[in-house]
Amino acid sequence: MMAQVLDGKALAKDVKDELKTKIQNWVNLGHRAPSLRCIIVGDDPASHTYVRNKIAAAKYVGIDAETIKYDVNMSEVALIEAINALNADDEVDGILVQLPVPQSMDERKVCNTVAPEKDVDGFHIINVGQLSLDMPTIVPATALAVIEMLKRFKIETFGRDAVVVGRSKNVGMPIAMMLHSDKKHDSGLGMDATVTICHRYTPKEKLDFYCRNADIIVTATGIPSLIKADMVKPGATVIDVGITRVTDEVGNTKLVGDVDYEEVKKIAGAITPVPGGVGPMTVAMLMHNTFQAAQNLRDKNLQ
Amino acid sequence: MMAQVLDGKALAKDVKDELKTKIQNWVNLGHRAPSLRCIIVGDDPASHTYVRNKIAAAKYVGIDAETIKYDVNMSEVALIEAINALNADDEVDGILVQLPVPQSMDERKVCNTVAPEKDVDGFHIINVGQLSLDMPTIVPATALAVIEMLKRFKIETFGRDAVVVGRSKNVGMPIAMMLHSDKKHDSGLGMDATVTICHRYTPKEKLDFYCRNADIIVTATGIPSLIKADMVKPGATVIDVGITRVTDEVGNTKLVGDVDYEEVKKIAGAITPVPGGVGPMTVAMLMHNTFQAAQNLRDKNLQ
């Protein structure tokens, strides 16, 4: 029995097609198209690729999206002014600052400058607070992608054991928070799993212990082949958020996740591939967040 | 071998005596005494007792503390106006609204009205966000009491297994968040434990499984005798945040925690009693938070 492969690419297509229809309906009701502004500072090639993918997805679903490029030598003050101008612009629904920003800038300050209701990355401290209190909010897209995949592939979480490997504040932490969300709370998420958070100081034998006990393993470390077949309970769901470029003996490069995919898929009940798993769904959920921001802005202006 | 009893009452006395000295030094430097305003709406006897204990502790350490009492029929608008007046008052450092507020009020809205830098309960969404991002912040007093006890009694957390039983947003969640804090982050807390969060939908056999594996058990459920001796690893540290009033066969009432204390103390390496454990430390840490708020306000006014 091989694991069900959770095809994030196909699911992302479904999610984007649904969004496209919803946005078309929204526009047909007389609203302008949702709009997204992606700020990128500097020349990092990977960052430019990410932003291009986001813009392409936005155009596909009917979001008016633009990239705003700045020189790597831009000052933090100038960036903050630029963000504030977008905050004040009623024609802009979603704002995203591609990370990392240049080292001369305070990343946290930049994230907190984006108006919380336009913060489609969910990195503003108020959105983090709302998420942590299990309130309705904008959730970081990668974390939301994982949760949406669990929901759409009907992976049961209620009363189940989940392990999150990696405690980063943009990925592991929000995933763990949502996995143990309480159905009584306002977000309505209510996943009700028992959750263990492992990290680089979890001893190897303890990581094995928690993973072997888990019904759901979510890994987000960037360490290739960290999760091996003998660490996975037969039938468990394995969600791989890691993405690392590796070079083989003959110099070819490829993208791999944190999971020893070929071996683990013989044991797991369901598994996400890398590439083609969480990655495409992350971009789709960013579009979901942008449409949500557009609706929030409309609601705010109606009050 | 009986467990070391972690005497929260004696430790709270030490903490308060240290604070008293620090506050005396602060006043000797020419600052006015830190000030705390405790708002209480309605006649709930338990709430009035809690507030009286807080005021008494404040006076002991040299904090200028006052209770502001309102009728149970007060409107939410009037309460918010009263909080805003205290927010604007430079003579007030710390503001606390004793929970629960009357059912006619939105508790979250009330908590978010207190200025974050005066929010000595740490319930404002910005303080929750800062805590969740492992940034310096004001931490809810009960959660801070647990962490301070672990530190002062030198209970090792680095790379150890911790279980938090109960996921409440004011207690269990912040304790779990701090236990897996990363020493690289800004808060400087860096407890680096591997943390499992259990709750009412964790199956009993799984609760047993996680507890038996844990070096540190923190329980905050209000369920008497939930944690029994056969669930505790020999030598583990057991921190009991629960507090429930129970009545025996002859009608006498007493306070008990979540832990089957007499039996567990034969197995555990260290244990907190109830009463006299986390409770007194909570009040002491509230005073710590008030002095911190006074220092923050001074720093803010200096900018």
Q: Minimal CA–CA distance to B214: which of B159, B162, B150? A: B162
Told to judge if B121 belongs to the known catalytic residues of this protein, a careful annotator would answer: yes
- Written as tens digits, the pLDDT of chain A (303 aa) is 799 999 999 999 999 999 999 999 999 999 999 999 999 999 999 999 999 999 999 999 999 999 999 999 999 999 999 999 999 999 999 999 999 999 999 999 999 999 999 999 999 999 999 999 999 999 999 999 999 999 999 999 999 999 999 999 999 999 999 999 999 888 889 999 999 999 999 999 999 999 999 999 999 999 999 999 999 999 999 999 999 999 989 999 999 999 999 999 999 999 999 999 999 999 999 999 999 999 988 888 776
Q: Which two tokens stand for residue A162?
A: 């989940």
CB contact (8 A) between residue B182 and residue A199: yes
Q: What mean pLDDT comes out for the span B50-65?
A: 98
A115 class by beta-carbon count within 10 Å (0-12 exposed, 13-18 middle, 19+ buried): middle
Q: Which residue of A has its CA nearest to B179?
A: A197
The nearest CA of chain A is from the CA of B273 a distance in Å of 27
Please report residues of A whose CB lies closer than 8 A to that of B129.
Answer: 125-130, 132
pLDDT recorded at residue B65:
98
Q: Which amino acid is at B84?
A: N
Instruction: Report the C-alpha gap between A108 and A99 in whole angstroms.
Output: 11
Distance from the B241 Cα atom to the nearest Cα atom in chain A, whole angstroms:
20
Q: What is the pLDDT of residues B132-179, one digit of tens each?
A: 999 999 999 999 999 999 999 999 999 999 999 999 999 999 999 999
Q: What is the pLDDT of residue A303?
A: 62
Q: Do B201 and A159 lie within an 8 Å CB cutoff? A: yes
Cβ within 8 Å, pair A180-B159 = no
> pLDDT averaged over chain B?
97
Neighbours of B298 (CB within 10 A): 14
pLDDT (0 to 100) of residue B244: 95
pLDDT for position B301:
79
Q: Is A303 a catalytic residue?
A: no
Between A and B, how many CB-CB pairs are < 8 A? 94
> What are B282-295's pLDDT values in tens digits?
999 999 999 999 99
Residues of chain A with C-beta less than 8 angstroms from the C-beta of B131: 132
B chain contacts of residue A135, beta-carbon cutoff 8 Å: 108
Say if residue B300's pLDDT is above 90: no
Q: Which residue in the list B121, B134, B258, B260 is annotated as catalytic?
A: B121
Nearest CA in chain A to B201: A159
What pTM does this model have? 0.97
pLDDT (0 to 100) of residue B303? 62
Which 3-state string (H, E, C) describes B191-242?
CCCEEEEECCCCCHHHHHHHHHHCCEEEECCCCCCCECHHHCCCCCEEEECC
Q: Is A169 a catalytic residue?
A: no
pLDDT, one tens digit per residue, over B3-14 is 999 999 999 999
CA distance A194 to chain B (A): 5
Partners of B193 in beta bridges: none
Q: How far apart are CA B158 and CA B238, in angstroms?
A: 17
Q: What number is the ipTM of this complex?
A: 0.96
Residues of chain B positioned with their CB less than 8 A from the CB of A210:
194, 196
Residue of B nearest to A186 (CA): B108
Q: Say if residues B70 and B82 touch (Cβ distance below 8 Å).
A: yes
